[in-house]
Structure 1
Amino acid sequence: MKDFTVNRRSTLKLLAAGTGVLAAPAIIRPAFAQSKVVNITTYDKFVPQSFIDQFQKDSGIEIRIRLTDDQGKQYNLLTAEGAAPSTDIVTVTGHRLSQFMGSNLLAPLDTARLKNWDKLGPAYKGAPQLTVDGKTYGLPLLAGFEGLARNTEYTKASDSWEIMFDDEYKNLTSYIVSDFLSIVMRYQGSDGDYVTYENKADVAQAATDKARDFMIKHKDKVRKYYDAASEVQQMFVNEDIYLAQTWSGPAAKLIMDGHPIEISVPKEGTYGFLYSFNVVNNAPNADAAYAFLDAILSSPEIGAAMTRQSGFASAFDGVDKVLDDKERAAMALPPEQVERVQFFSSVNRAMKNEMIDKATAEIKSA
């Protein structure tokens, strides 16, 4: 399998292009062919309830959703189920695609079966994160980045990640440990995505250990480590924290809801990602899966609803014209900050995952 990286030009195109309540999780039963059912594993607030209701009415296909909050959980489930998966569609980030493909968990997307394929934003057709050996392995959904979120009423402006370690904000910050570790490595001048550390395990380990030790030293700044977007949103709303490393989506949602939050990309830079819907290899309801994918592409209003719920930038064409000024502003970045976003690569993921996971456990237990 040919691996891929994402250059700065494609990063800028994807970010520039992007500018209800979820269905209650249903129990996904053991896999067997059910032409009127589609089983989807996805994140909270990714599929609008209004779309679910209309799709089920028009198609007669029942949508069953299993919520997830972690790529690794999806991967482990599919791996355990092997050739008899219980889900038809999963939600994968571009930089994790090679891991799923390496275990033969995803099927190439037959775009000829999607009459609405042309309704993707131009920058997302053939997105490099989802293209391997000329084949497409997912329907682009939403793009985002890791940002510095701050309560503008209680914090000073800053263009550096250094503010997360300022004594002034002791016990007032929060982050996802594994995600922030990569950011800290970048802050320290190391490669937080491990691309340049291929076949350099000793260099990678030294850089990881340096970031780990720095985060342990500054644990007193952290109110709580979080995992789910709803946790960091609630901490901001309750004013339990003033600063956080967070995905752009949850922060943008707070801004759209009128909270005094700002999201920015500090001068040291950050990492971006692209979510996609992916058809599972041996999906028990492949026809229903394609009907679902084609329907969700059918209107920019659907993409706009997904953006309003998640806060992430849509991959669908025309969504920017549906969003209002406040909603567009919540996701807008100055050009110089867009330049600081580097999309995660799939290169050297095994080394990165192993070292990050080990360091994360050590930080939490310190």
Structure 2
Amino acid sequence: MSDKSTITRRSALTLLGAGATAIAMPMIIRPRPAWAANGVINVTTYDKFLPKEFVEKFERDSGIEVRIRLTDDQGKQYNLLTAEGANPSTDIVTVAGHRYSQFISSKLIQPLDTAKIPNWKNLNTAYQDAPWARVDDKLWGLPILAGYEGLARNVDYVKDAPSWQIMFDPEYKGLTSYIVSDFMTIAMQMLGHDGDFVTYVDKADIAQKATNEARDLLIKHKDMVRKYYDAGSEVQQMFINEDIYLAHSWSGPAAKLIMEGHPIELSVPKEGTFGFCYTLNVVNNAPNAENAYKLLNAILESPEVGAAMTRQSGYSSTINGVADLLNDREKLASTLPQEQLDRIIFFSSVNRDMKNQMIDRATAEVKAA
């Protein structure tokens, strides 16, 4: 995904004529476009998250111009807000649940006032007051899309995959791929350790030993890997080209392949996995906070918005009634059997610094080995 910031907006009407022409002709006064009547709202989010049709309808209905800045990285959003300090240029940012602590402790986002969101009742009850979303006894964002790390496989070549161990099966040597840092925590989980580091608070020695064990496993089986990838588009292309048959993948990229008819299946193996929600968060000192709440409320107004988000991003919507609007292939791509859903552990904000430091170091060691 390009790192270039993109802003979408309607073109403003301009007054024609200048100088002598303006004197010779009467001035034509044109009405301001509807979207310009009630101000603006600036949103930093990922590509395909806010459907174009929804944004255009919201502008018409509310008279608020929506300016979207695209991002492809949590760190970039954090760094931008930190640099802007008390005078942010954006009103809403898109934060992954496990990054809450970083944004909250830096006072970059504000607690969410659900009283300003009458349509909050349309949010699935699993997300209305989820434990991972509540920090310091406050809610901090509107969950819009849920994702998880899954085992993706080409069903033409891999019929079943009940365990993450299949990623190390010699039959698929050179036909697997993963993001090293993300798969590292899955490997820890597979080995019986805590891949989210929640139980390792004040237990650095135990955490390091567990991390090293997963690191050594990945180094031992480096020859299994066709390529370490970074972006979802990379793993999609490898599956399309049949360069790989198996991959650790975030649900979004894999789901898009399924929706497009490719022979891919996504599952949660018996050892479990990790999940998260993308949330829309109102920025601290947001210049257009009231407009921000209007947008959040509009998102929850209709399940059609959630369905469009799912179709575009591949991630599962958090809004009630979306499943009824999806076709069979879309449901296959964005839903899981209950027993697999029960294996998903939502990322915690606890002990993130230790986790990031140890995983980052181990990732570098795997790549250098």
Tell me the TM-score normalized by structure 1. 0.87
Q: What is the deviation of 1:27? A: 8.5
TM-superposed deviation, 1:74: 2.0
1:284 and 2:265 aligned: no
Q: Which residue number in structure 2 is paired with residue 196 of structure 1?
A: 199
Q: Are positions 1:347 and 2:350 aligned together?
A: yes
The alignment partner of 2:118 has SS state of coil
- Equivalence for 1:184: 187
Q: Does 1:243 align with 2:246?
A: yes
Assess, with a 3 A threshold, how the Cα gap between structure 1 residues 35 and 320 changes in structure 2: closer, same or farther.
Answer: same
**Counterpart of 2:13?**
none
Q: Distance in 2 between matches of 1:158 and 1:126?
A: 34
Q: CA deviation at 1:38?
A: 1.9
Measured after TM superposition, the shift of residue 223 of structure 1 is 2.0
AA aligned to 2:223 is: D
Alpha-carbon distance, 1:35 to partner: 6.1
Contact between 1:26 and 1:65, CA under 8 Å: does it hold in 2? yes
Deviation digits for residues 139-177 of structure 1, max 9, x if unmatched? 111112110000011224121111112222222211111
Residue 74 of structure 2 is matched in structure 1 by: 71
Between the aligned partners of 1:55 and 1:36, the Cα distance in structure 2 is 13
Counterpart in the other structure of 2:120:
117
Q: Which structure's relative contact order is higher, taking Cα pairs within 8 Å and 6+ residues apart?
A: 1
Answer with 256-265 or 133-142: which moved more.
133-142
* Shift in Å, 1:225: 1.9
Q: Which residue in 1 is equivalent to 2:103?
A: 100
CA shift, 1:227, in A, is 2.1
Moved more, 254-263 or 125-134: 125-134
**1:25 has 2:13 as partner:** no
Q: Is the 8 A contact 2:119 2:297 kept in 1?
A: yes
* Distance verdict in 2 for CA 1:122–1:258, change over 3 Å: same
Counterpart mapping for 1:199-238 below 5 A = 199-238=202-241
Q: Which residue number in structure 2 is paired with residue 150 of structure 1?
A: 153
| Cα separation, 1, equivalents of 2:38 and 2:360 | 40
Could you tell me which residue of structure 2 aligns to residue 160 of structure 1?
163
Which runs of 5 or more residues in structure 1 are unaligned?
1-23, 29-33
CA distance in 2, matches of 1:224, 1:79: 34
How many angstroms apart in 1 are the aligned matches of 2:351 and 2:277? 18
Distance (Å, rounded) in 1 between the aligned partners of 2:101 and 2:314: 26
Q: Would you say the 8 A contact 2:7–2:70 is kept in 1?
A: no
The answer for unaligned runs of 5 or more in structure 2 is 10-36
Q: Against the structure 1 CA distance between its residues 109 and 35, is the aligned structure 2 distance closer, same or farther, given a 3 Å change threshold?
A: farther
**Structure 1 residue 73: Cα displacement:** 2.4
> What is the letter of the counterpart of residue 353 of structure 2?
A
Q: Does 1:257 align with 2:257?
A: no
State the partner residue of 2:312: 309
> How far off its partner does 1:313 sit?
1.6
349-358 vs 213-222, which deviates more? 213-222
Tell me if structure 1 keeps the 8 A contact 2:132–2:347: no
SS in 2 for 1:116: helix
Contact 1:195–1:348, Cα closer than 8 Å, also in 2: yes
Of 207-216 and 76-85, more deviation after overlay is shown by 76-85
Partners of 2:175 and 2:71 in 1: CA distance: 27
Secondary structure of the 1:141 match is strand
Q: 1:191 Cα shift?
A: 0.9
| Cα shift at 1:350 | 1.1
Comparing 181-190 with 78-87, greater Cα deviation is found at 78-87
Query: Identity, % of aligned pairs?
Result: 67
Tell me the SS of whatever aligns to 2:281.
strand
Amino acid at match of 1:110: D
Aligned residue in 2 for 1:13:
none
Bigger mean CA offset, 175-184 vs 91-100: 91-100
Q: Give 2:199's aligned amino acid.
A: T
- What residue is the counterpart of 1:362 in the other structure? 365
Structure 2 distance, partners of 1:113, 1:138, is: 13
**Aligned amino acid, residue 102 of structure 1:** S
Whole-Å separation in 1 of the counterparts to 2:227 and 2:119: 43
Aligned length, in residue pairs:
338
Which whole-Å CA distance do the structure 2 matches of 1:39 and 1:336 have between them? 40
Kindly report the root-mean-square deviation, in angstroms, between the aligned alpha carbons of the 2 structures: 1.9
Q: Deviations over 1:187-240 (max 9, x none)?
A: 111111111111010111111112112212222222222222222222211222
Q: Using the alignment, how far apart are the partners of 1:138 and 1:126 within structure 2? A: 10
